[in-house]
Amino acid sequence: MTVTRASRQEGAPPNAPTRPGPEPEPAWTFLTNHAHVLLCIAEEPEARMRDVATIVGITERAVQRIVADLEEAGYIARIRHGRRNRYEVRDHLPLRHPIERHEKVASLIAFVHGERDDDRTIRA
């Protein structure tokens, strides 16, 4: 068994068993940041942009730009609730790239989050 510096417990002898460390972040993913932000909003419509940024791993400003893109394209609708925003995903719209345009946003959400029967999406 090879013991690496990162996985060896502090003060443990060199031959001590190692415990698994956290998985390293992948260099790339199959989905874009736009998809990740959309999926976060579908999961939690009242999420703060700061929280979405933390989950996706991008800056809050990048999330704000992506939300503006999604809203401008009609994929989400913003509803003001006092000082907070609530977002509704318009899941009946098609995905954007020609390769996947035959599928709807609902298919992406169902694929990642599983089928749900709740009020998180609208069909407007």
pLDDT (tens digit per residue) in 29-44: 999 999 999 999 999 9
What is the widest separation between alpha-carbon atoms in the chain? 63
- Alpha-carbon gap, residue 51 to 58, rounded angstroms: 10
- CB contact at 8 A, 47 and 66: no
- Going from the N-terminus, what domains does the chain have, and what CATH number goes with each? 33-122 (1.10.10.10)
- CB contact at 8 A, 75 and 28: no
- What is the model's pTM? 0.74
Secondary structure of residue 96 in the 3-state scheme: coil
pLDDT of residue 12: 55
pLDDT of residue 7: 45
- Measured over the CA atoms of residue 5, residue 11, residue 14 and residue 20, the dihedral's sign is negative
- Alpha-carbon gap, residue 69 to 63, rounded angstroms: 10
Three-class SS string for 6-58?
Answer: CCCCCCCCCCCCCCCCCCCCCCCCCCCHHHHHHHHHHHCCCCCHHHHHHHHCC
pLDDT of residue 124: 47
